[in-house]
Chain A
Amino acid sequence: MGQLLELLGASIIGGFIMLIGFTLNMQISDSSREIFQSTYNQRSAITASQVIEYDLYKAGYAATGEKVTQADSNAVKFRSDFDNNGTIDTIYYYTGAISAMTSTSNPNDKQLFRKINSQSANLVSVITRFNIVYYDSIGNQLSYSSLSSSVQRAKIRGMRTYVKTELPDAINNLYNPMEWREIIRPKNLL
């Protein structure tokens, strides 16, 4: 009887220890996955920011005439000799459709594209939101409706870019968003 009780007690204690171990492993595994994904997510945001920064800081460089040819909330097209080779290029940033992202469970993710002249567009990053706000020389926000006019677009002196990236698939129902926001004042628009 005594041995039976001892065996029962040891089994219960052992079971608890194993349960704790399993739980700990699961939690560590989740955290690990979350951190891995977050790092990936952060990398996506930084990559997008680096590409956008690289181009936007050069907006208007060496270009004469109209420098910003399209200015929407989620798309911008401008002229610049961005590669400094003596030829003026047209750079176009725009987002793809949410419905195009069929392989991920995130309901909001979409592709951010960068198109140079008439070349086929390149994927910059997968994002969930891409937004640009335009400012004039004294920092007043220019309305999107006004920016259909080239006269108004010529007043653009600053652009606040906003990129939000999320995980392609949720971990514990969270997509761990990462945001990048920066006001870029291209010197060649001055």
Chain B
Amino acid sequence: MGKAVLIFVLGSIALFGIINFNMNESVGVASQNSIDKFKETYARNIANGVASMLVSRIADSTTYRATSTQNISSVLGGSANYRVIDTTIAGQTYIKIDVRGIYSGKTKSSIVLAQIPTGGFIPTTVKAAISTNNKVVTSGTLTVDGRDHDLNGNLIAGQGTLGLWSTQDISQDGSSKIGGTFSGTDYAAAKPANSNTVNEDATYSGGYPNTPDSVMGGRAKGFPTGTLKSLAQSSVNGSQYTTNPSFLSFPLKGVTYVELPSGGIWTSSNIDGTGILVIHNSTTNAVIKNENLGIFKGLILADDIVHLHTTVIGAIISITPSPSEGNTIGNGSGTVLFSRQALINGIGEIINAANFGFAKTRITISYWYE
């Protein structure tokens, strides 16, 4: 009996040992499952983190590429390798950021497709240094020069446009001067203006745009209705939105959107700054008058703009077909110098601004594969 009990007890101990070993193994597997999950999550975080860093790097330097695989031996507790190349998918060129994050033997990858920054552009609605949908009169000593200029107003030969373009009549009064470029030939501002520098009673194919967003090119150019206003309201890159111009901060930057009540006039105005300046309301009769202060570099989109007495480097577009005061656009010593660079820079201040990136260039992320 005693021997039998002893055998039984020893057998039980052996059995217990075997089962306990198996249990420990199971517990180990369960723990390993959790650990693996943690490692995978961490590796993904590394991949996404490095991809984000590279996006910021491209935002700093849009020409940055790494065509061969680069290794980072220590990042966020793990390691990573990456490539940054240009690639074409469905006819569209992207910057492809391909990252592998590695953490404790686990690898996760992230692929980011970013649009190559294009910067600003010159809207097709810019037909001249001043484009209007109404009768326009130049007076006083106003100078309208459609020849191309740099940001400081220095002449750039042969790349300009017309001085004045209108769907209606253009009158040149007083000592005002108009110049421009036609077929690569520059014509200095003069009175009377060379006939190649003005285009009156012109037809705008498809109808003259009647909102600031449509002037910018509408949805096709990334400006569906309300875009400029919402950009201004978002304060992106120093943009401002106001219904009372006395609240504006200077210098103007990004999109400055002044929405006046019907027939409202922003007079004795300071327009010092850059970017896109919009003076508009839903009835298309917001007026900016007596622009006396500041130099504006960029694009001015106004329902009705009269009595310019300061300097604009870029271009002006007037929207209304029914201007106030016969649209005497200038009756003093104002100057409008067409400038491609000022337009590109001004519009570029807000292009892609609503997207990813923290550096000097905004990068649009099209797709992120993780």
Contact = CB atoms under 8 A, between A and B. Distances in A.
Interface of A: 7, 10-11, 14, 17-18, 21, 24-25, 28-29, 31-32, 35-36, 38-39, 42-43, 46, 49-50, 57-58, 61-62, 84, 86, 187-188
Nearest to B12: A21
Interface stretch (B26-34, B128-136, B143-151, B278-286): B26-34
Contacts of B9: 17, 21
7 closest A-B pairs by CB? A187-B368, A21-B12, A35-B26, A14-B5, A39-B30, A28-B19, A39-B26
A62 B367 contact: yes
A25 B16 contact: yes
| Chain B at the A interface: SS class | helix
Given A25-B16, A42-B34, 4 more contacts: A7-B1, A29-B19, A32-B26, A57-B370
Given A11-B1, A17-B8, A21-B9, A84 B369 contact: yes
A84 B367 CA distance: 11
A18 B5 contact: yes
Contact of B368 (A14, A36, A49, A61): A61
A178 to B, nearest CB: 10
B29 to A, nearest CB: 5
B147 to A, nearest CB: 42
B15 A42 contact: no
A86 B89 CA distance: 8
B30 A38 contact: yes
A42 B111 contact: no
Contacts of A24: 12, 16
Contacts, number: 72
Contact of B367 (A21, A43, A50, A61): A61
A86 to B, nearest CB: 7
Nearest to A180: B37
A160 B330 CA distance: 61
B206 interface: no
B19 A58 contact: no
A185 to B, nearest CB: 11
* Interface size of B as a range: 20 to 34
B79 to A, nearest CB: 21
Contacts of B365: 187
B12 A36 contact: no
Contacts of B368: 61, 187-188
A57 B20 CA distance: 40
Interface string B1-42: 110110011001001100110110011011001101100100
Given A25-B15, A31-B23, A84-B111, A61 B30 contact: no
A129 to B, nearest CB: 20
Contact of B33 (A31, A42, A187): A42
B143 to A, nearest CB: 48
Interface in B88-146: 89-90, 111
A24 B1 CA distance: 21
Contacts of A58: 369-370
A50 B34 CA distance: 12
Interface in B162-178: none
A35 B23 contact: yes
Nearest to B30: A39
Nearest to A62: B367
